[in-house]
Amino acid sequence: MQLFDVFPAILEIILLAYFGSAALYVFIFSLAGRFHRFSKPHTVDLKRKVAVLIPGYKEDAVIVEVARRALEQSYPEAFFEVVVIADSFQELTLQKLERLPIKLVKVTFEKSTKSKALNRAMEVIGDDFDVALVLDADNVMEFDFIERINTAFNSGYQVVQGHRVAKNTNTPMAILDAISEEVNNHIFRKGHRVLGLSSALIGSGMAFEYRFFKETMANVEAVGGFDKELELKLLKGRNTIEYLEDALVLDEKVQKTEVFANQRKRWLSAQFIYFKRFAVSGLKELLLKGNIDFADKVYQMISPPRVLLLGIVLGITFYYFLIDNNVLPIAAVVPPYLWYTAAGLTFLAFLMAVPKKYYTKETVSALWTLPKTFGILFLSLFKLKGANKKFIHTQHGTLNT
C-alpha cells in the first residue's frame, strides 16, 4: 500500500473509533436511564439553613420576578435566604430588589465571571449556612425544590443536582434546546446514577454542603464552564454527585439558533481546555486508583456534543451507504455495517432519551431548523480559540412560566 493510501485508511479508523465509541457510550447510558433507581434512605431528619445564590449580570428584565418567585417555597422561611448577586444592574432594578426580603450583594469586576460573583457573595454573607444552592438569574424553582434538596442531604449527599427543565418552548430553537437539555438529563444524569456513577452538573439548580462549596470554589477561577472545573475537582476527590429527577427548576431556553451556537461554542471551548488539563490525571486516577467517576468525566470533556454526534454519524453513514451500493467508486477500509451500527445506536439513544411530551407536531416543525443548527455548530468548532477567555453574556427576557 502506497503512502498516500495509508492516511485515508488511518483517518477512517480514527473516525470510527471516536464517533463509534461515542455512539456506544450514549446508547449504554440512555438505556440505563430507562430503568428505575432506588433512593437512599434518610439517615437523619434535619432542616438545613440554605443560601439560595442567584448571580446575575445585566439581568434587569428577569431578576426581580426570579427573586420574588424564589421566596415562594414550601420550605420554612426561617431556614433559607435568597441572595441576589447584582453585577451591572440598573439603579431602578436595584431599588426594586431592595424592597424584597432578600439579601442583595452588589459586585463590580474588571472581568465578570460567575465564579467571582459566587465567591464574593459567600465572603459577604458569612458561614451561617449549611447548604449553598446555586441558580441562574432566569431560573424559577418549583414550590418544593428546596424541600427535596434538603431530603437528599438527609440521605447523606454533599452535592446534589436538580432537574432543570424548559421554562419556554416558544420558538423552534427553544424546543430543540429544551430537548437537548432533557437528552443530557437522561444520559448524563439519570443514566449515570442508575449505573452508580455521579450525575453531571449543569451550572444551576445545584446544591452543595456550604463550607465544602466555599472552600472548593475558592480555587475555581474559570471564566466560562465553571461547573465543569468544579465537577472535575469534586470527582477527583471522590465526591458523589446525586441527581434528583423530581426536583424541578425552570430554565429559559435560547430562542435563536445563533445564540444557541454561541453558547455551545463557549461550552465546547471549556471542554477542550479541561480535557487538556486533566487528561493525564484522568488516566492515572483510573489505572492507579480505580477512580472510574473521574475518568468518565474526563472522557466527557472530549466526547462530541449530541447534536454534532447525530449529524456527523448520520452523514458519514450515508457516505458509506453510497460506497456499499457502488454509487461511489471508492474502496473503504472500514466495513459499512460498523457505521450502520453506530448510526443505529445513536438514533436509539436519542429515541430513548427524548421525553414523550416532546413527540408533538411542534417538535416535528422544529426539526426543520436542525440542519441549520448543526451547520452553525459545526463551523463553530473552527472558531474556538479564545472563546473561553472572556465572559459571554446570554441575555434573558421576561417570560411567563
pLDDT tens digit string along 241-266?
Answer: 999 999 999 999 887 777 776 776 77
CA 291 to chain centre: 22
Q: Which of 151-165, 227-241, 270-284, 375-389 has the highest mean pLDDT?
A: 151-165
Per-residue confidence (pLDDT) for residue 371, from 0 to 100: 87
pLDDT digit string, tens, across residues 262-320: 776 777 777 888 888 889 999 999 999 999 999 999 999 999 988 899 999 999 999 99
Per-residue confidence (pLDDT) for residue 401, from 0 to 100: 47
For residue 106, the SS3 value is strand
For residue 203, the SS3 value is coil
User: Environment class of residue 321 by beta-carbon count within 10 Å: exposed (0-12), middle (13-18) or buried (19+)?
Assistant: middle
> Of the given ranges (37-46, 68-77, 86-95, 195-204), which has the lowest mean pLDDT?
37-46
Share above pLDDT 70 across residues of the chain, in percent, rounded to a whole number: 92
The CATH architecture of the domain made up of 50-256 is: Alpha-Beta Complex (3.90)
Residue 222 clears pLDDT 70, i.e. is over it: no
**271 compared with 189, residue with greater pLDDT:** 189
Positive or negative: CA dihedral 385, 251, 226, 304:
negative
Share above pLDDT 90 across residues of the chain, in percent, rounded to a whole number: 70
Per-residue confidence (pLDDT) for residue 275, from 0 to 100: 86
Which triple of cell numbers denotes residue 31?
438505556
- The Cα 316–Cα 322 span in angstroms is 10
**Half-sphere exposure of residue 199, counting CA atoms within 13 Å on the CB side?**
27
Within the chain, which residue ranges are assigned CATH 3.90.550.10? 50-256
Residue 24 clears pLDDT 50, i.e. is over it: yes
What are the CA-CA distances from residue 138 to residues 13, 38, 394, 395, 401 (Å)? Answer: 44, 31, 10, 10, 11
- Non-local (6+) Cβ contacts of 341 within 8 A are 20
Per-residue confidence (pLDDT) for residue 146, from 0 to 100: 98
